[in-house]
Amino acid sequence: MLKLQYIEDLNFPSVEKATEEGLLGYSFDISVEQVLKALTIGIFPWYEEHTYPFLWWAPDPRFVVFPEKAKVSKSLKKSYKNFEYAINKNFEQVIFSCAKIKRKGQEGTWIDRNMLYVYIMLHRLGYGMSFETYFNGDLVGGLYGVNLGGVFIGESMFHTQTDASKSAFVHLVNYCLENNIHIIDCQLHTPLLESLGGEFVSRANYSEYLRKFVNVNI
């Protein structure tokens, strides 16, 4: 029988203790400080709505995008020109939109009220960021995540218009290239992110990237 690690406060076990599926442990509460600390050492919370306790993950391998290796197709380059863009203009609207969108293979959402509170607070503290796509003044796509200095942790994206979320990602890539952010952590593989240049790196290499590039005082 699988015996998971109990995680209390900021006391996280080594990522090497994660299961083959990447599950590291569980906790009975979740806090802003806890999530921020976890992200800096390669751990993230992920669970379905209404499940309990909270689950923490450190998968091996990890799916990432290196900004300088991002792929932008000709059709996406064309679509990109059709939108307007903003950063942190409507963070809360972006995260609420991500929480409401129905995703294939998921009955609920992992962005429950606990996660909404944590990431909105991270935004107010200057860590959470949203990259937003507009068409005729309306928000039609975007993504949000956490800026750890030289690493950006992507959390979720949404769109209500074709290519709007992809274009938001291109906007993020451009921001990373201009602001010395070396890696975008996508956490888990999706065909969409693979099409944008995502690739797998080992958990050991990912941990090394974090040690080298993260610039956060906890």
Q: What's the pLDDT tens digit per position in 76-134? A: 999 999 999 999 999 999 999 999 976 554 444 578 899 999 999 999 999 999 999 99
Reduced to 3 states, what is the DSSP secondary structure of residue 167? helix
Give the gyration radius of the chain's Cα atoms.
17
Confidence of residue 8 (pLDDT cuts 50, 70, 90): very high
Lowest mean pLDDT among 14-23, 39-48, 100-109, 174-183: 100-109
Q: Cβ neighbours of residue 110 under 8 Å, at least 6 residues apart?
A: 45, 46, 47, 48, 49
Q: CB 80: neighbour CB atoms within 10 A?
A: 18
pLDDT tops 90 at residue 48: no
CA distance 145 to 167: 16
- What is the set of domains in the chain, with CATH numbers? 5-61 (3.30.70.3550), 63-202+209-213 (3.40.630.70)
Q: What is the mean pLDDT of residues 1-24?
A: 89
> Residue 183's beta-bridge partner residues?
151
Q: Cβ neighbours of residue 100 under 8 Å, at least 6 residues apart?
A: 109, 158
How is residue 173 written in tokens? Answer: 């890539």
Q: CB 16: neighbour CB atoms within 10 A?
A: 11
What DSSP designation does 107 have? S
Cβ atoms 53, 25 nearer than 8 A: no
pTM of structure: 0.93
pLDDT tops 60 at residue 186: yes
